[in-house]
Each structure stands twice: as structure tokens, then as C-alpha cells.
Structure 1
Amino acid sequence: MHIEVRDLNKWFGQYHAVRNVNFSIEPGQLIGLLGPSGGGKTSVLRMLAGLERPDSGEIRFYDKVVNDVPPQERGIGFVFQHYALFKHMTVFDNIAFGLTIQKWPKDRIRARVAELLELTGLSGIEKRYPHQLSGGQRQRVAFARALAPEPQLLLLDEPFAAIDAKIRKELRSWLKSLIDRVGITSIFVTHDQDEAIEVADEIMIIQQGSVEQKGTPWDIYKTPQTPFVAEFIGESTILTNVHTLKGFDSTSAWPNSKALIRPEYIEVGRVGELRLASASERGIVKALHFRGSEWLVEVAVGELTLKTYRTLENPVLQIGEEVQVLVHRIYLFNEDDHWVMENPLKEDPMPVHI
């Protein structure tokens, strides 16, 4: 095991920022720490880096406890949210800074910087200063500088937060490709779900200082293990009277339960368009939101308002139009349990516990 955290706790005064956190990371994995602001993500990252000391628990690198090992001896590269480049230094000197501090030979520094300039697509601009670079270029310099000393672990604290949306999307793919090529174990903090889903091999969702769930993006999205994860990941609608929908009348046996329905688990079509008409409801289109690649449709089914997607290949619905609505599955939860339930009129007749 490359990284292992055991019963990690951190207090700031009376505030319990990190609560009994446990996880492990295999070599070469890219892990996304995802969660709401103030949830404890950055505190975990800073303790891994040695910038904060745990109040209790252990941090292990290759089975060695590093709680008392200073940051410069942990073999870590750190990329900050706002680049933290030296304004008076060229791109070359910024990348070479850590190597110079470590007193690498000059010829080895030149070779390593040249390698990183090529790797990060910065060749030809090594003599420029930070103010002469775009936001995306500055962040690439920050990545190159962090990778220069050949660290065992790369930590990134919301690395794309200071970059505009278009460049941020481009850098996501670039970062994923870079990490795959370098093969370095990496952990990045983000509050952007799309970013975590697109970039990470595994996601660790942290809320109120605790790990809610850890797994692949698909596993977390498909089978959330807590109500918080179910509500936090993806777009959804929370209902308390889902028993009024066809196929879900048995949910009335759990009077204190709530149901979460994601848009992709709902089909909407013009009357006669859906194949499973006997399992579908009649609804009225209340609102349409164009999302570029699809429509987000708000539809009223009785007293319920549901949200679903409709592709651009299908005819555009109209506000006020009567439509058919088919709910395929729901995520049902209460204080004691949670489970996924398929519509028994088209799938299994029993809840699927997870």
C-alpha cells in the first residue's frame, strides 16, 4: 500500500475538522477529494503534505509513519490553488527552483527542466515571466515545478479554481493524460463534481470531516452508500410521497422515508412515444432548460415535479404539453437504511439493498 491513513483527527480550537478518517491509496492512482466547502478536504491534504500535524491517528507512506517527518523529507510535490509562482523568475527558474534548493548539479537541472518543459507543453517559453503567460500556462508551470524533484506523491489543492471555465476543461484532460504518463500517485481537492468524475480514478467524498464514501466515479454515482452522497452527486429531485407514482406504491410501507430520483432514471416522451405505456404516468411539461447537448425538462405528475433529460434528436417538447413519464428507479432512504428500487412494472418486484 502506497498511502495509508488510520483514524486521522484534527481540531482547530473547538472545531473538529477531520473525524476518524481512514483510507488507503494504491501506487499510481489519481484520487479526487470531493465535498462541500468546509468539509475537511484541504485539512486532510495539508496533513498528508506535513503542513498540518494530526492531533491523533497515523499517516503512512510505504508502511512508514510520517507524522513527524517534515514536509521537505516526505517526497511530495504540491500544486497550490493560485499557482504561487515567483514573479521575478522565468519559467525555467520557477521549474528549477526546488532542484536548485536541493543543490542538483546544473547540467542535471537543465536536463530535468527541459524534460518537464516538453512533458507539459511549455517548450519555447522558458525565458518568459509569469505575467507574460496565460492562466493555463501558469498552472502548467506550477505542475512542472511540483514534478521537478521527482516526488513520490503529488498533491493538488483545487488546481483549476483560478482558471476560466473553457481552459479548465482543457486542463482536466491534460492533467489526466500527464498523470497517466508520469505514473505518480496523486490526490487533488475539488468541489467540482464534473472535474472529479472526469479526472479521478477514485473519488473520496468528505463531509463534516468524515469520509462518506470512496470508490470509482461510476460506483459512487450508481450506488451511493449514504443519503448525503445520493443528494450530493449528480442532479436529483427529493420526494416524500413517491408512493403516488406507478410501480412505487409499496413505498408507503416506509412512511418516514424519502426518495431521490435522478433525471437519467426518468423517461419523458410525447403521448404514444414510450414503449412501456402501462408503467408510465401522464404529466404536463412545466419548464424547459436548454443545456447545449440536451434539454432539462421539468414535468408535473400529479402533485410531484420531476426533472429529466431529453436528447436533441427527439422532437422538442412544448411548455404545457401533455407527455408520458416513466420512472425507472429511485433511491429510497430513511434514518436507518437506504436502497435502490427498480420500477416493478418493468424490472424486479423487490427493492435492491446496497
Structure 2
Amino acid sequence: MQIEVRSLRKSFGGFQAARDVSFEIEKGQLIGFLGPSGGGKTTMLRMLAGLEQPDEGDIYFEGLRVNDLTPQQRHIGFVFQNYALFKHMNVFENIAFGLRVQKCTKKEITMRVQELLELTGLSGLEKRLPHQLSGGQKQRVAFARALAPQPRVLLLDEPFAAIDAKVRKELRSWLKETIERVGITTIFVTHDQEEAIEVADEIMIINHGSIVQKGSPYEIYKNPLTPFVAEFIGDSTVLGDISYLRGFEHVEGDAIIRPEFVEIGNEDEISCLHAAELGIVRNVCFRGTSWQIELEVRSHVLVAYRSLEKEMLEPGCEVYVLIHRVYVFNEVKSGAVENTCKHVKVKPPVLISNIR
């Protein structure tokens, strides 16, 4: 189902949860509302569901204004963060609940529940009570229950927040595959950037009640429109004047350096030694697939990644630091600025100490 929101506003006392918000969602898309806590994500989701009424603005489903319709009349499926399963009902009964409210026949209920048990990988667990299920299984039951009445839109409020990291990663892939199979328009709220990038077709970055940027995960990551977006998506360092860095001139506005823009190592590991700076390793953190290195370069702290295949660096050692590019944001434009020294031969700095 296609969704359109026009000039939506919502306040709670002096707090503005939605500030003149407008957007469109195409039928069958999986959209992530991503942003910090208190940014307005859940309020927008609840207004779409009919659980909160906007102060101003309109919500349209397939061209029909739904502001005055109840959640049931909007045909919304809602999955809550804490599952909200009925503790005294088994898996079958929980999934069947909405179908009984719709007064479906016993045969229709059985067929639909069995279909959803198979879809969600819960076959064989239909007689278990919620306390007999794992967190991942509970979330699948909640998902199946929301899908049972065949809603037109599925809304999920931080659906993986209560699940441990390993199961959460498995459920992300499962959710994306299942939504694609079902073909239902879906919106989920999260403050986890990795989750949004992995699951969503499109992301809406929400902060202070406004949509800061909308686009595919790749588009937003490669072309952030504001320093906030650049910092929120990916690990970034914010700098002011960058003219002190080799290969960069003074520019107005904020500059962002991401770890993947930074190359570190000894003289044999740096691709353009003549364009490199000298840096001191201040901290080393194991990230599972790489080392995260905190560096001091000309009294500024930067972050870089280093492959586990390379020699480990120790805090206090001196390294070459090649900054390939930075993102610059000002009132005129935003975009990447490349290191000009990579194309001009200059004398490289001298590394005093060796990597341990």
C-alpha cells in the first residue's frame, strides 16, 4: 500500500515530536525510521498506526485520508518492542487472536495460522506458551500475529531491541526475506544504524522531529547531506579547519573524516607516502573483523581501521597516516574533498620510531 504524509505536526507540551513532516512510501517498500532516542521516530510510527493523533497535517493510504480512522479501520499490523504476547495463550492462540476478533471461521483460522507457522519457522511450537520460547521465537510469534489479519501496512517499533546480538543478526536477514515474500509495505523504527543499513530498502534519518535525509542506505552513507547524518551513519570524526592537514586547503564549514578514508602503517604499507602525516597511536580496540585505531595527528584525534592480517600496533607508537579525503559541509554545498598531495610529489615526513 502506498502511504503519503503531508505537513505532519505533533507536540507534547513544549516538546515538538514532529515538525512539518512530509514524505511518501511506495507500495511494498521496507522503510527504516533511524535516529537518536527522542528524535520523534516512534511518535511518527504511532501516528501512522492511529495510536496518536497529529496536531496538524494529513495521512493518506492509497489516496484515502485516514486521520479519523481507528487502527482497525486502517488495517494496520503492529509489532511492539516487548512482543506484547498474551502470556496465558499458546503460540497458536496468540497468532489466531486477530482472526477471532474478525470472526473468521474455525477452518479459516486453522489454515491461516498453519500458513504463518510455516512462514515464520514456528511449525511444531504451536502448543508452547510464551515463557517456553526464546526471545527470537517470541518475536516471530509477534510478527505472525501482526500478519494474521492480512494488514495493508506492517509497523515495527524497535523489533529487535530485546533480543541478544547473535539472534538479532539472524532475525534481520529473516525479516527482510519474509517481507519480500509477503510483499507488504513495512516501516520499522530503530536507533541502530547497522540494523537499518542491513534491512531497509530506504532509510529516513529523523532528528528533532524532522526528516533530515531520505534515501537508500548506500546513498545516505556515500552522500550525507549534513554533519549530523555523516556522524550518525558510520564512525566519523568532526574537524573544523583542515588546512593544517597535508594535501588540504582551508574550506568554510565542518569537515568529517571517516575511518575508511584513513590509511595507517609503516613506510611499506602506505600507498602514497609523500602525502602522509605522522601520527601517534593512542588506543587500539578489537572490533572482531579489524582493529579500530585511535590516532593523534597534529593535536587532533582521528579513528582508522587496520586489518587483522597486518602487524598489531601498540599505543604510543608512531605511524604514517594517509588521509585520502574528507567530507566538507557548508551553506553552499556538501561533498568529498580529495587529498591533492597524492598527485604532487613532495618530500615525505620522517618516521622517528618503528612500529612494534
TM-score (structure 1 length as normaliser): 0.94
Q: Which residue, out of 298, 323, 338, partners 2:294?
A: 298
Q: Which runs of 5+ in 1 are unaligned?
A: 349-354
String of CA shifts for 1:163-200, please: whole Å, max 9, x gaps.
12221111111111111111111000011111111111
Which whole-Å CA distance do the structure 1 matches of 2:336 and 2:275 have between them? 18
- Local SS of the residue matching 1:140: helix
Deviations 1:224-283 (A, max 9, x none): 1112111221111111232111111x22x53xx321101011111112321211111122
Name 1:330's counterpart in structure 2: 326
Q: Does the 8 A contact of 1:29 with 1:185 survive in 2?
A: yes
- Kept in 2, the 8 Å contact 1:99–1:109? The answer is yes
Q: Is the 8 A contact 2:280 2:295 kept in 1?
A: yes
Counterpart of 2:352 in structure 1 is none
Q: Distance in 2 between matches of 1:43 and 1:27?
A: 22
Aligned to 2:313: 317
Say whether residues 1:44 and 2:44 are aligned partners.
Answer: yes
Identity in percent:
64
Report the 3-state secondary structure (helix = DSSP H, G, I; strand = E; otherwise coil) of the residue aligned with 2:246.
coil
CA contact (8 A) 1:4 1:59 kept: yes
Does residue 8 of the first structure (1) align with residue 8 of the second (2)?
A: yes
What residue is the counterpart of 1:351 in the other structure? none
How many Å separate the matches in 1 of 2:83 and 2:16? Answer: 29
Q: Distance in 2 between matches of 1:174 and 1:295?
A: 29
Q: Quote the offset at 1:320 in angstroms.
A: 2.6
> More displaced, 312-321 or 332-341?
332-341
Map 1:116-135 onto structure 2 (within 5 A): 116-135=116-135
Distance apart, 1:333 and its partner CA: 2.3
Conserved 8 A contact 1:285-1:322 = yes
The answer to whether structure 1 residue 273 and structure 2 residue 307 are counterparts is no
Give yes or no for contact 1:236–1:262 (8 Å, CA) kept in 2.
yes
Which consecutive residues of structure 2, in runs of 5 or more, have no partner in the other structure? Answer: 345-356
- Measured after TM superposition, the shift of residue 347 of structure 1 is 7.0
Q: Who is 1:174 aligned against? A: 174
Deviation by residue 1:119-159 (Cα, 9 ceiling, x = unmatched): 00000010111111111111100000000011111000011
Amino acid at match of 1:296: Q
Is the contact between residue 272 and residue 324 of structure 1 (CA under 8 Å) also seen in structure 2?
no
Matched letter for residue 185 of structure 1: T
What per-residue deviation string (whole Å, max 9, x for no partner) do you get for residues 9-58 of structure 1?
11222322100111111111110001111111011000100111111111
1:42-77 Cα distance to aligned partner (Å, 9 max, x none): 110001001111111111111111111111011110
Instruction: Tell me if structure 1 keeps the 8 A contact 2:2–2:24.
Output: yes
- The TM-score normalised by the length of structure 2 is 0.93
Amino acid across the alignment from 1:270: N
What is the CA–CA distance in structure 2 between the aligned matches of 1:220 and 1:82, rounded to whole Å?
Answer: 30
Aligned partners of 2:277, 2:15: CA distance in 1, in Å? Answer: 49
Cα distance in 2 for partners of 1:234, 1:210 equals: 20
Give the aligned residue type for 1:281: E
Partners of 1:195 and 1:347 lie apart in 2 by 38
Cα distance in 2, alignment partners of residues 183 and 29 from structure 1: 8
**Counterpart of 1:204?**
204
What residue in structure 1 maps to residue 351 of structure 2? Answer: none
